[in-house]
Amino acid sequence: MGAVSDATPQTVTAPGAIVHRADSPDAPWWRDAVIYQIYPRSWADSDGDGIGDLPGITARLPYLRDLGVEAVWLSPFYVSPMRDAGYDVTDYRTVDPCFGTLDDADRLVDTAHDLGLKVLVDLVPNHTSTEHEWFRAALAAGPGSPERDRYIFRDGTGSGGEDPPNNWPSVFGGPGWTRVTEQDGTAGQWYLHIFDVSQPDLNWHHPEVREEFHDILRFWCDRGVDGFRVDVAHGLIKRDGLPDWHGAVGLYDEIDEEGPLGVGRDVEDLWSPDSDVLPHGATGEAPMWDQDGVHEIYRGWRKVLDSYGEPDRILCAEAWVKPVQRVARYVRGDEMHQAFNFDFLDAHWDARQLRTVIEASLRSNDVVGAPTTWVLSNHDVIRHASRLGLDQSRPRPNGIRADDPQPDAVLGLRRARAATALMLALPGGAYLYQGEELGLPEHTTMPDEYRQDPTFHRTKGQVTGRDGCRVPMPWVKDAPSLGFGPGGSPWLPQPEAYADLAVDQQEGVDGSTLELYRALLHYRRTHRIGHGSLTWDALSSDTVIALRNTPEGRGLTLVAVTNLGAEPVRLPVGEVVISSGPLADDGTLPSDTTAWVRLPVT
């Protein structure tokens, strides 16, 4: 088996010193909640049309109660032409017929609440669809009109206005501006669309835009919704003057070649240990991202949600922002409640990188009194069961095709299970993406003719895009569309590997990924692990992450040990309550495995 690792610990904070103090046992629900993301098109199809819907979700909600999560987040289900799978919204106050009706949405929320689950919905404030009534009115009204001022229209440059107002590209490929034809048939102004041409950016300096979204928040809160995940939360305000920009504009596909930290970088590169304040006066480097003006918007939103009293209605930011102090600005006490920790998602399978991200994130958010919100997968990135089976010296790709290097499925799943066990041992909240509890891999061999992501089409196939992580759920191995619905042709094809990973193949099966998730979530909730303190254990090294989590008033200390090295690791003396994979015969922890050890009470 080889020598057991006893590497010298190398951490920024010495083992035994407090990195993060325990939360109050009576803290609000969202500070340690585990929230499950449902991508409605791919969760459950009730009517056999190949597209998941709200009645399908409602019917499957007991599965999430039994899984052990506290809440569910639904990706958009609003009326939409579906140019970007619902992130191009025509009407924020009703349900697209492909998903059901407003009554179906009410029934879903009521059923979830009866099961003890809270419900968050997606809000898309950066842009609307070109089919939104506001944008149609803007086209009809013409240049200089109040209707156009709700969006970002500008005259072109060049002698006849034939060139766009600046050089900004679209995140999805191609230019970020489109010229319109005016009512008299002449070539007219240009409108900004940081995403697809069908997604015009709103002008968030306009008071009507701000009041409209206050009303949208109230509309869904009045229907019982418990919170909102905010799409592109860092993009609403653009730098004054819309200056040219020659750097990257990617939202989730422009990844540092060395990962989120890079070789040789440490906690001090992300967070100064001598600083007790957040940076002031600076704005995000790219003029379309992370401008300081967004925070005034979210302070207004927070007032709307706080007016509903307890239990808290919450906001969670999708903000791809660096460094971590900039992320912490979104979760100050009068702004959002949560912000996804994308540095954690992007970290390579490397003990030093992961430990540095964990500590920097906790210390930064502690400055503003906010929990950290961990995540490993979502509808925009390669599933971590595949991502962790790729070459960890390379940046994360945006999609995988059949002729690309293929992930090692066995290695990827083993690491994914270990990564999830590490994540759920951390203080704070966490989000799970549908199907990760089954160990679902990315669909890496999907034929191109099935791809629907606008990124794929706008780049003429140069960027694969996100379809591979959005494939419908497998529920029953021997049913049509693997139990996704009564029809046999789901909107995206399911890979062969999904059959053996279906829910009915894992329920009650000792050692299955589904049962591992259930065990982790049950123990975490029972002992309030998400409210615990964090110190590094002396087992930590360049290949081992070992942390001690001590929830207040629970009479236990949990040591979570993740072995990212090649050699087995001796575990501390105590009760091994959960392990992401089998231990060795001599009780040591094998490579790419996490164990939770409950220490004896002293």
Closest CA to 372 of 430, 419, 314: 430
How many CB atoms sit inside 10 A of residue 331's CB?
24
Residues 110 and 223 placed together within one structural domain of the fold: yes
- Do residue 483 and residue 375 come from a single domain? yes
pLDDT above 80 for 253: no
CA atoms within 13 A on the CB side of 391: 10
pLDDT single digits (tens) 341-357: 999 999 999 999 999 99
Q: How far apart are CA 368 and CA 493, in angstroms?
A: 45
Segment 173-216, tens digit of pLDDT: 899 999 999 999 999 999 999 999 999 999 999 999 999 999 99
- pLDDT the model gives residue 543: 97
- Is residue 129 pLDDT above 70, yes or no? yes
Q: How many domains does the chain have?
A: 2
Could you check whether the bond before residue 323 is cis, i.e. omega within 30 degrees of 0? yes
**Domain annotation covers residue 540:** no
Average pLDDT, stretch 142-167? Answer: 96
First-residue to last-residue Cα distance in the chain: 33
CA quadruple 142, 143, 147, 151: dihedral sign: positive
180 and 298, same domain (yes or no): no
Phi, psi of 568 (to 5 degrees): -65, 160
Residues 118 and 139 occupy one common structural domain: no
256 with 282, same domain: the answer is yes
Asked whether residue 95 carries a pLDDT value surpassing 80, the answer given is yes
Per-residue pLDDT at 554: 84
Q: How confident is the model over 64-87, as pLDDT tens digits? A: 999 999 999 999 999 999 999 999
Reported in sequence order, the residue ranges of 355-415 that DSSP labels E, i.e. its strands, are 373-375
Asked whether residue 160 is assigned to any structural domain, the reply reads yes
367 & 264 share domain: yes
In single-letter form, the type of residue at position 323 comes to P
Question: Has residue 198 been placed in a domain?
Answer: no
Long-range contacts of range 138-141, CB-CB < 8 Å, 24 or more positions apart?
138/191, 139/180, 139/183, 140/183
User: Quick count: other Cβ atoms within 10 Å of Cβ 70?
Assistant: 21
DSSP-assigned beta bridge partners for residue 230: 123, 317
391 burial class (0-12, 13-18, 19+ CB within 10 angstroms)?
exposed
Q: Which domain holds residue 180?
A: 133-192
Both 336 and 357 in one domain: the answer is: yes
Sheet holding 18-20, edge to edge: 18-20, 533-536, 544-550, 558-563, 593-598, 575-579
Residue-wise pLDDT tens digits, 300-337: 999 999 999 999 999 999 999 989 999 999 999 999 99
